[in-house]
Structure 1
Amino acid sequence: MRPTRTGVLLTAGLVTALGIPAVSAAAAPADLFVNNAANSHCSDTLPGAGAQTTPFCTVPSAAKAAQAGQTVRITPGDYGGDVTVARSGEPGKPITFTADPWTTGGTSQAVLIDQLTVDGASHVVLRGFSPSRAKIERSDDTVIEGAQLRGPLVIGAGSTNVRVSQSTLMATRIEAGAQRTVLNRNIVRNNRDSVPVISVVDAPGSVLANNTVVSFCEAGISVGGGSTGSSVFNNVISSDAAQSFCTTPAAPRHPLVVAQSAVAGTRTGSNVLRAVPVGASAPYRWSGTDYATPSEFQKATGQGAHDILNPAEFNASLIDSADATAPGALASPDMKGFGPIDNPLVANTGKDGSFLDRGATETHDRLSSASMSVRNAWAPVGTTVQVDAWATTDWPSGMSYSVDFGDGSAPVVTTPKGGALAAIASHVYSAPCACVVKVTASNGAGKKVFTERPVKVTAAGPLTAAFTATPVLPTSDSPTERVSPLTVQFDPSATAAPWPVRRADVVFGDGTTTEVTDLSKVTHTYRSPGTYTLTLTTMDSKGAQSATKRTVKVDYAPSGYVPVGPYRIGDSRDDTPSMPGGAPFALQVPRGLDRPEFPISGGVSAVVLNVTVTGASEDSHLTVWPADQPRPATSNVSVRAGATTSNTVTVPVGGGLDTVLAQLNSGSASIIVDMVGYYQPNIGQRFSPLAPTRVLDTRTTGGALSAAKTRTVKVAGVNGIPADAKAVALNLTATGAKEQAHVIAYPDPAKRPATSNLNVEPGKDKSNQAIVPVGPNGTITLFTNTGSTHVILDAVGYYGKDGKTLFTPAVPKRLADTRTTGKVAPGATTTVSGLPANAVGAVLNVTATDSTGPGFLTAYAFGATRPGASSLNTLPGITVPNHVTTPVGPGGKVSIFNSQGGSNHVITDLLGYFTQP
């Protein structure tokens, strides 16, 4: 419908005509801020309080500081307490208090307080408050908008030109002496109290317009006393006249009451009155007389023109039927923030053809969503692409659709044909692109909604399969980022596919396959490293097929080190019977939040463990390897019958599994496993290998380590190890032990763990490598539980931010075994090869067996000068293993020197290696 003159008036506003000065945008001082959130850094006393960086904590503090023309921006929340506004603005320069952002959406976006009082102030605007009660007295030009009152509102004596709009109110009273008060666009309720929902007493010139009033126990609107010259227009007044819970259940409950003393100059009309049950009370009481119908009321008083009583179609009766020329009708938008709008489905029955709705809210088109479908959304250049667009709307007339095809061409504007809701637009792309089609749906009222969808415009040509395969690596140390090692992302998007691919089969080369659609990416985790042949076979919507294959090397990625604990993760001593030989024992490796008291990353690729074997029924050895992989021909711990032996073990985690396996070669025994640290790509510390360097020898310094005593040893900031190193790799040797015991090396002297690093025996020199986090002041602490023993510490490397290398885990692999080539004679050196040529360090398990005399082995870089420290101590007739970290020489070689103590067979197993990134 064409807008009438009344419709034009809807944009002008009548507030000024009612005597309420309009708020101007005059220059104002800087805004003040209020925010009591925990992280707001608020203050009521600091210099500069009220700025955005240091907001006030309370609203009263801002109320005392605000000046004319200033805006106080209050972050929504619960502020509690009473707020009194007593300072005034100036004409055209009000003091504004507003929830920031301000919305009429409810108390969750409001400023919650106890009582709100405006006392003796003028030119004040308050938006977005939710007080338990409110009172305005002796104030002028006061505006309340978007309030959510939880109790009564009183506009008191001496107040002039007060306007309350767009609010949800409880019982509201305009008291004696108030003048020219405007209540418009409010929802006002009163549940059980036996007072009118809106009562006007001795308040001349009061304006009640476009309110929705719900009453249960008294009149909806009551105008009494000397409230002459008042007006009541465009309101919806509902009254339940039979509520048994009311305090005066028998009293009449008229929706509208105007006392004889207030009749002079008071006008009313265009209201909707609803009484439940129908006829229980007369809808009107005017000057002491009841009137049962609008026609009877109008005939007797001249008032109530265009009133509707108990309409059969209640909602329809409100639309486009209000009097837009009534006082107060145009003072503000409705409760939802919308202005008047002409519903094209309803005739304009308001005065002079007005399309203003009655009550507190306007009925707008619920244009809630736009939708689209695309024909040939994946097609070669030159193919016609058709878009069908439609919308969810209440007012289908006036709908139009703008379709932007995303290639820089002008949007196609189209409208539905023949009363349909959908419209069609077509386009032919001139070049390949990954474009986005955007549809904008507009209704006759100018409201818009959007939707979009990608389209794929391809080059003409044959279907040609192609793909990439890249490792998937963790990106952080988050416990919730679960990324298994040996995971590959398969991306077939490089396929040249002019038409949609209906099927794509992927063969991963390890006996598994999958099917993808739309050439989407997939990830696959392999169980073990290796070289695999991947195959992609595609079929498009036209029946064409294409296949391609390529080999992909899958391996563990270079990783940084994270020290943890240490803490115990397995102990089979409580199991009956003990762990039998010949059968693997599965050990769950914690990842992420598996052990909430020890959270670690979810992307662990390898773990460092201290493994102890005790109570062996016969001489045997233990092998540790990644789960779901074949058992390697290697060993980690060698143990004699009845003895206790420990060794450090570095082992990768099996692809897709958080488990490692341990198997005793023969006999039976118990195993104890402590978590020491882990490796992972993209996090952790880098490693710098060192030629073995002596850090401590109690035989020459400090004397033997005594039972239940601790010894603090400086390890960082000395011997070439930087002061900020996070962990050190040490070869720990015990000699001269007085009795069987264990030795612990740990970082914090105040937090000794319930773990161990080395089990000692009288008369035997024993070694084990330990990776120990650095404690306070660059130290570590040593402890033995009983007896006494001499301790020798040799540093072989450190982990820190200036470390030079990253570690690549390896499935345990045997590099050398002199049992097939001949013993290493006393004073001789054997060379171990087979390491990658770019390796600068290696983690090995070195075992000495069939020894003819006590002595030691030293591992060092091939071609380098042999250091004067040992890697493990040999004993005649005893097999001795040790976890060894050593530099690597040219060609990927390591030298192992045998001391003058006797001949030995030397077995060398690879656990991983270090490279420079």
Structure 2
Amino acid sequence: MRRRRQLAAALVVASTGLVSAGATLPAMAEAATTLYVDNSSADCTDTGVGSQGQPYCSVQAGVDAAKAGQTVSVAYGKGDYDEQVTVHSSGESSKPIVLQGRLGGDRMYPSIGRYIVDATAATSRGLVLDHVHDVTVRDFETVFTVAESVLVKDSSHITLDGNRLWGGGNGSKAVPSGAGTVRVTGASADVVISRNTIGVGNGGGIRIEAGVTGAVVTTNRVRAGRAATGVAVTDAPGTVVTSNTVTTGNATGIALAGASDHAVVENNIVDNDTGFTSPDGSSPIGLAVSAASVTGTKADFNSYSPRPASAAYSWAGATYQQPAEFATATGQGRHDLRERLNFDADSIETVPTATSGSTDSADAGAPGELTTDLYGHPRVDDLEATDAGAGPVGYYDRGAAELQEFRDLSVSTSPDTGPYPLPVTLTAKATQSWADPATTYTFDFGDGSDPLVSKDPVVHHVYRKAGTYYPRIKVQGADPNTLFTGWAYQVTVNEPGDLVPVLKADPDGGDGPLGYAFDLSASSSPWNITDYVLDFGDGSPKESYYRQTKFRHAYAHPGNYTVTATVKDESGRTATAQQAVHAAYGKLGYTPTTPQRILDTRTPDMGGRSRRLGPGQSITVYASSLAPQVHPDALVLNVTAVNPSQSGYLSVYPEGGNRPATSNVNFTARQTVPNLVTVPTGQSDAVTVYNFSGDTDVVVDLMGYYQQGGGSRFGAVAPSRVLDTRKSKAVGPDASTSVQVRGVGGVPADATAVVLNLTSTGSDAGGYLTAYANGTTRPGTSNLNFTAGQTVANQVVVPIGADGKVAVYNHTGHTHVVADVFGYYGPSGSSLFTPVVPTRLVDTRQSSALGQGGVLKVNTGVPAGATGAVLNVTDTASTVPGYLTVWADGASKPGTSNVNFPAGKTVPNHVTTPLGANGAFDVYNFMGRSQVVADLFGYFAK
């Protein structure tokens, strides 16, 4: 029958008289003084007196200084006290020495012991008590140790309570299999091991060895290794093993060996149903009692797991599967259970559930039984379970933990913010183990009003003054011991007021050079602001968020935009704010990089794609080789179309932006055509490559990047020729030539990179050229691809070697190399780069072709004072082979070339050119008639 019982206020005396009921834990005596230890204190010293203001640094120093009646209070400190602690001093019966750990945040215990890798034979344990008496150790944690975590030797009246003890590490210094985490040995007496969590990696749990008398092992959670006994008692008469939860791998749960007579084994849960099998095929035993330990020993009220292949008992050499046959044969275990143990999943296999037979079925009068469990919880009666226990009350649970009526209490408030007078609904939700019609809730609203006691978990309250309040809620069943306390989220009561949106807009380079960050966090209302909607003013979809105050947006084009923010608060009010923004490219410095391939559609792991780019398709390219903290505003790329199926072009533009009506790489079928591209980045610091027609492979090499607030300035020079191997000899296969660029053609001695127009001519085989800093490792990239006999050019921006030279490598065959200089980057440079939306400046197909020897003046429209421009210049429909030359308007035509072309083909080239004082440049056609197209991608200005 179910019956109510008052919780026993103290432990009862066992009828055996072996151990005083309850082996009540020695109370912490009121110490004459407290010694403090804190290794995180800047003022700690081991030569002081251990005051609170100047604590000891080490636990050992505090322990060595302690005398009877003193408490050594050890702060969590740095967490680890990397030391073995050895207690040398003793207390007195009424004045023990107490080692008390002070928990840190999240109930973190101060830790003692040397880690396995650092331990020696002399420092292989966490705690040693040798030839001492009247010492209590509470609330410590040990690291995984080489030997026992705790050794008690030839000591008496020792209490180990509420600790977390880890023993038996792995590796070359691992504790021998079967060794204990806690070991009591020698002439030790009256040692109490209570409410500890004991976990082991390789060894056993608790060892009570020969010569020990009167030991009490109670209310511990013990997890032993695969082949190690949980609680092993050997030649230690009068030992009490009560209310422990023991889990083993493939070993006995509790063992009384040798002559361990007159023992008590009650109220334990033994779980060795883990599925492990020992090498010799043996199976684990729940309880093993030797023949010499049977006399005067009592074993009852224990629960065992039902592993089919193993026996629950070994008693005087005989084994028994079930409690009934064990009881019939021995008279013991009449209240034992063999059941599949049902644990609360949140308790790491410690707390039995209401469906377990271990609930409300312990002997409350068993020696060593405590009035609180492993976690300090009181004993309570499960109203839905039959009180099947014994002793003063019949509702104690077996094992180390007591199933509580309430395991969690959450409280919500609605609303939690608003102006006074503020009506608030508080809703309590308790996680309850059993139904209890007497359940009541006590709500303390935190504003000085009287607490409200309610059977209903939902109550209402009006806050009438501004302030921040912290409601506290208690839930309780019929038994006062079931009391559980929880806190609600704070309630903020404000003065009445308006909803005021505040919109801040700041340029944000983290989302592309035209990116903006918007912040509404300064908006205010006495209510919670719940909804934020932003219209960025560029026709893109509005963005709406619940309680998110920060937005990011990348504009596709420079321009002026009006951003509108609409906010809504919890009362239903809405308000708007507007902010004008100007999205514009900044002035950028250049940083050259070691050429790095960042996309190759022919290679599966290069850019995440291994298929050709089809007609109308695009691919996003990330500057993945740059450091994560680098957010480029523009990239300098060498983009190559490889083996296209038909004539077409590639366009490169900022990711997330609109595709421009311009091209960067023009090609015919089966050609391999590169071109240098300078392009602003878009979202995620990426760019998009679009293929107009047919299908083609695409290769992209990163040459450098522009960034606001960093990099080098540009210096324009009058175009001049710095290399022409036709005056000497061609560059052979797998060979390089070098050219001096510092101090030549207007390039100063401090230049770090140079702008060259690189031309291959007179080649006897198809191949490619690679330009790189002389004296450095040649990169696995290319700058200029050509076929046999072709004259073709491509602009390069290449770092300069320490010797002031640039190297040019030829892959196959023989070819002549021509290099013309157009500018440089370095400390002597005076101009920064500003990208523009690609703009077509001229297209002679709309008027008339440029004739032989003709010069075309092109106005750029860039701001006054611009020193140079970045162009893509294309020759198309030429009547004969030839070349175009580009230079500053008003200057003398140089003896250089920019675009070399055969008759009738379309050939583009990236051109960086100086500008005249009027912002214009000139284009010269050497021979025949050609159509000329020029697109502007940016300009340089001081």
Given that 1:160 and 1:179 are in contact with CA atoms closer than 8 Å, whether structure 2 keeps it comes out as: yes
Of residues 516, 538, 548, the one that matches 2:544 is 516
Letter in 1 for 2:210: A
- Correspondence 1:497-646 to 2 at 5 A: 508-509=536-537, 511-514=539-542, 516=544, 520-521=548-549, 528-532=557-561, 552-554=581-583, 563=593, 564-566=595-597, 569=600, 585-591=616-622, 607-612=635-640, 632=660, 634-637=662-665, 646=674
Structure 2 distance, partners of 1:424, 1:373, is 10
Whether 1:659 aligns to 2:688 is yes
Counterpart of 1:783?
A: 809
Q: Which amino acid aligns with 1:650?
A: T
Aligned-pair CA distance for 1:755 = 3.5
- Please tell me whether the aligned partners of residues 161 and 182 of structure 1 are also in contact (alpha carbons under 8 angstroms): yes
Equivalent residue number for residue 786 of structure 2: 759
**Over residues 46-102 of structure 1, what are the superposed CA-to-partner deviations in whole Å (9 max), with x where a residue is unaligned?**
xxxxx999999xxxxx77x978599973589999999976976563798999985x6
- Secondary structure at the aligned position of 1:246 is classed as coil
SS in 2 for 1:810: strand
* Pairing partner for 1:282 from 327, 336, 352: 327
Specify which of 430, 442, 449 is matched with residue 392 of structure 1.
430
Out of 751, 754, 758, the position equivalent to 1:732 is 758
1:297 alignment partner in structure 2: none
Instruction: Say which of 144, 158, 183 aligns to 1:111.
Output: 144
Asked whether 1:421 is paired with 2:457, we answer: yes
Match of 2:360 among 280, 304, 317: 317
CA distance change for structure 1 residues 367 and 914 in 2, over 3 Å: closer, same or farther?
Answer: farther
Q: What's the Cα RMSD here?
A: 6.6
Contact 1:851 1:903 in 2 (8 A): yes
Q: Does residue 1:155 correspond to 2:194, yes or no?
A: no
1:239 and 1:276 in contact (8 A); partners too: no
Deviation of residue 782 (structure 1)?
A: 1.8
The structure-2 alpha-carbon separation of the partners of 1:147 and 1:78, relative to structure 1 and needing over 3 Å to count, comes to farther
Question: Do the aligned partners of 1:32 and 1:52 also contact (CA within 8 Å) in 2?
Answer: no
1:587 positional shift? 3.7
Of 342, 353, 361, which aligns to 2:401? 361
Q: Which residue of 2 aligns with 1:480?
A: none
Amino acid at match of 2:132: P
User: Which residue number in structure 2 is paired with residue 647 of structure 1?
Assistant: 675
- Where do residues 291-370 of structure 1 align in structure 2 (5 Å cutoff)? 314=357, 317-318=360-361, 322-323=364-365, 328-329=368-369, 334-335=373-374, 337-338=375-376, 340=378, 359-364=399-404, 366-370=406-410
Percent identity reads 21
Q: How far is the alpha carbon of 1:883 from its aligned partner?
A: 1.5
2: CA distance, partners of 1:778 / 1:8 = 95
Q: Which of 220, 240, 244 does residue 186 from structure 1 map onto? A: 244
| Pair 489,537 (structure 1): closer, same or farther in 2 beyond 3 Å | same
| 1:834 aligns to 2:861 (yes or no) | yes
Range that drifts further, 817-826 or 836-845 = 817-826
Find 2:412's aligned residue among 350, 362, 372: 372
Partner of 1:709: 735
* Aligned match for 1:246, one of 283, 304, 311: 311
Residue 298 of structure 1 is matched in structure 2 by none
Task: Give runs of aligned pairs for residues 47-62 of structure 1, distance below 5 A.
Answer: none
CA distance in 2 between counterparts of 1:52 and 1:515 reads 46
Measured in 1, the distance between the counterparts of 2:630 and 2:712 equals 19
Aligned length in residues: 791
Contact 2:731–2:817 (CA<8 Å) still a contact in 1? yes
Residues in 2 aligned to 1:121 and 1:244: alpha-carbon distance in whole angstroms: 40
Alpha-carbon separation, structure 2, partners of 1:646 and 1:90: 86
Contact 1:689 1:886 in 2 (8 A): no
CA distance 1:92–1:119, shift in 2 (3 Å): closer
Deviations 1:652-692 (A, max 9, x none): 4676996332447xxx9977543334758689855544536
**1:417 is paired with a residue of what secondary structure?**
strand
- State how 1:479-498 maps to structure 2 within 5 Å: none
- 1:789: Cα distance to partner? 0.9
Separation (CA, whole Å) in 2 of partners of 1:219 and 1:738: 88
Which residue number in structure 2 is paired with residue 133 of structure 1?
Answer: 178
Aligned residue for 1:282, secondary structure, equals helix
Q: Distance in 1 between matches of 2:636 and 2:405?
A: 66
Partner of 1:883: 910
- Tell me by how many angstroms 1:390 deviates: 1.6
Question: Structure 1 residues 695, 222: CA separation in 2 closer, same or farther (over 3 Å shift)?
Answer: farther
Distance 2:485 2:417 in 1: 28
Structure 2 counterparts to residues 794-805 of structure 1, below 5 A: 794=821, 796-798=823-825
Distance 2:690 2:523 in 1: 41
**TM-score normalised over the length of structure 1:** 0.64
Name the SS for the 2:10 alignment partner. helix
CA shift in 2, pair 1:680/1:91, >3 Å: farther
Distance 1:451 1:292, change over 3 A: closer
Match of 2:473 among 441, 459, 478: 441
**CA, structure 1 residues 842+428, in 2 after alignment: closer, same or farther (shift >3 Å)?**
farther
Match among 194, 201, 221 for residue 167 of structure 1: 221
Instruction: Check whether the contact 2:714–2:831 (CA below 8 A) recurs between aligned residues.
Output: yes
CA separation in 2, counterparts of 1:352 and 1:494? 64
2-side partners of 1:552 and 1:76: how far apart? 59
Aligned residue identity for 2:676: T
1-side partners of 2:665 and 2:231: how far apart?
A: 86
The answer to whether 1:792 aligns with 2:824 is no
User: Residues 567 and 817 from structure 1, CA distance in 2 versus in 1: closer, same or farther, beyond 3 angstroms?
Assistant: same
Contact 1:561 1:680 in 2 (8 A): yes
Distance 1:833 1:291, change over 3 A: closer
The question of whether the paired residues in 2 share the 8 Å contact of 1:531 and 1:554 is answered with yes
Counterpart for residue 769 of structure 1? 795
Distance 1:881 1:240 in 2: 81
Map Cα deviations across residues 154-188 of structure 1 (whole Å, 9 max, x no partner). Answer: 53323467665523264644222x36655455224
Unaligned 5+ segments in structure 2 are 14-19, 38-45, 47-55, 61-76, 90-98, 100-109, 169-176, 274-283, 337-353, 604-611
Equivalent position SS for 2:360: helix
1:752/1:876 CA distance change after superposition, 3 Å: closer
Matching residue of 2:497: 460
| Shift in CA distance, 122/452, structure 1 to aligned 2, threshold 3 Å | same
Give 1:128 deviation, angstroms: 1.9
- Encode CA deviations 1:564-583: one digit per residue, 9 max, x unaligned: 523653589xxxxxx99xx9
1:449 aligned partner, one-letter code: G
In the alignment, is the contact (CA less than 8 A) between 1:813 and 1:910 conserved in 2?
Answer: yes
Q: Could you tell me which runs of 5 or more consecutive residues in structure 1 were left unpaired when the two chains were aligned.
A: 34-50, 57-61, 103-109, 256-274, 295-310, 405-410, 475-482, 573-578
Q: Which amino acid aligns with 2:717?
A: A
Structure 1 residue 388, shift from structure 2 partner: 1.1
Say which SS state the counterpart of residue 199 (structure 1) adopts.
Answer: strand
Asked if structure 1 preserves the Cα contact closer than 8 Å seen for 2:841 and 2:934, the reply is: yes
Deviations 1:354-385 (A, max 9, x none): 9986642234453423221314x565x44424
Pick closer, same or farther for the CA change 1:642–1:163 going to 2, 3 Å: closer
Three-state SS of the structure 2 residue aligned to 1:835 is coil
Contact 2:765–2:813 (Cα < 8 Å) also in 1: yes
Distance in 2, matches of 1:202 and 1:762, equals: 102
> What is the deviation of 1:776?
8.8
